[in-house]
Structure 1
Amino acid sequence: MADPIDNAKRALRAELRERRQLLTEAARRDAESGITTQLNALVQATGARSVSCYLSTRTEPGTRAFVRAATERGIRVLLPITRVDGLLDWAVADPDGELVEGLLGMPEPAGDLLGPIAVGEVDLMIIPAAAVDRTGMRLGWGRGYFDKTIGSMQDGPPVYAVVYDTELVDEVPRDVHDQPVGGVVTPTRTVTLAPQRR
């Protein structure tokens, strides 16, 4: 029997994926510029000296300029590396380092692997999302990597999801394993949605 929550998630993801694919290159460039500005301000406001982030794909709000700028300013940036067991390893970002295609076809660093617990030592987590609702519930892309990571952390750092402005919505379908985030970063604003951890 079909699960209505899974069906609702699938339908919303398909709509969001299509909307992202229709964005022009100019809109993508503007979004990346806005995301970089917002993330730089968030790092400054939180005093973070170590963050986790990710390398955006072509259709995601761009994080690559932020990652490069942060490492150049001496901020330690950890990037996720997918594992077959559904967990994430981490590697320290190197602007000149080699990138490889990860398990899911996404760009990942080829540097030395740190284990899954390495992310517990960052001051701020910046993660991808398909959408986030106003209670902080995050809709991911269905593989559960970040839900598992956040769910396994006690007293973890503040977690902010990066989405386009239209992807901060009133409500997303949720299941028992889904983990909320404390805030959202869009190209035009940063919104704290729930009390931050740590």
Structure 2
Amino acid sequence: MADEIDLEKQRIRDEVRARRAAMGDAERVAARDGITAQLVSLVEAREARSVSCYLPVASEPDTSGFLGWARDRGLDVLLPSAREDGLLDWIRPSWEGMVQGAHGIPEPLGAFLSPMAVGEVDLMIVPACAVDRTGVRLGWGRGYFDKSLGSMERRPPVFAVVHEADFVDSLPSDLHDVPVTGVVTPSRIEYLDDPAEE
């Protein structure tokens, strides 16, 4: 059964990668602008003063516009740094440049904080391959965010960012998968795990 779940997860990842790779420049810009608007709306609606987010790599939904807005507004932002043990440290960026991190993933210059630091933010914004309507989040297979979310004593609201086609009715899941509070796409915000907030 576990093998079947893993195979189905990989099939979905391959499908999403192919779909994102096929996006044209104009479509990417429109998606980035939509995501920026939705994330700004989410942060303002929740009156968040501190957030964790991510720097987009490859074809991940582009948060660069939102991060520029957050920097200009003086929000306290934490960005992830992958560790060898599979957890995430967090960086409070100085906004003064980038360095190469684990797996060749760019990381910002700034102050390093422990894996527990993210428990203090008002809102977590995480990448995803896909999300379903029950809050199941499918990542890319390394498990960094699942381990981090699963190890937290206090978990802020968690919103996964995906393109429209990656928000689906159902996804395969394992026991270690931690449901997200909501999903953000270029055109909407939907609460999935916290009906009182709708």
TM-score by length of 2: 0.95
Structure-2 separation of matches of 1:146 and 1:104? 15
Task: Give the aligned partner of residue 133 of structure 1.
Answer: 132
The residue type paired with residue 168 of structure 2 is V
| 2:90 counterpart residue number | 90
- Matched residue, 2:27: 27
Tell me if structure 2 keeps the 8 A contact 1:137–1:174: yes
Q: Which amino acid aligns with 2:170?
A: E
Describe the superposition over 1:93-113 as per-residue Cα deviations: whole angstroms up to 9, x where unpaired. Answer: 333x22122212222113221
> After the TM superposition, which of the residue ranges 98-107 and 175-184 deviates more from structure 2?
98-107
Deviations 1:126-160 (A, max 9, x none): 00000000000000000111001111122311000
Alignment-mate amino acid for residue 61 of structure 2: P
Instruction: Give TM-score, length-normalised by structure 1.
Output: 0.95
Corresponding residue for 1:108?
A: 107
Contact conserved, 1:35 with 1:185, CA < 8 A, in 2? yes
| Aligned counterparts of 1:196 and 1:151: Cα–Cα separation in 2 | 21
**Aligned: 1:80 with 2:80:** yes
- More helix by percentage: 2
Q: CA RMSD in A?
A: 1.6
Q: What is the aligned-residue identity percentage?
A: 56
The Cα offsets for residues 12-60 of structure 1, whole Å up to 9 and x where unpaired, read as: 1011011110000111111000000000000001110000000012411
SS, match of residue 112 in structure 1: strand
Q: Structure 1: give runs of 5+ residues left out of the alignment.
A: none
User: Comparing both structures, which one devotes a greater share of its residues to strand?
Assistant: 2
What's 1:120 paired with?
119
Q: Does 1:59 align with 2:66?
A: no
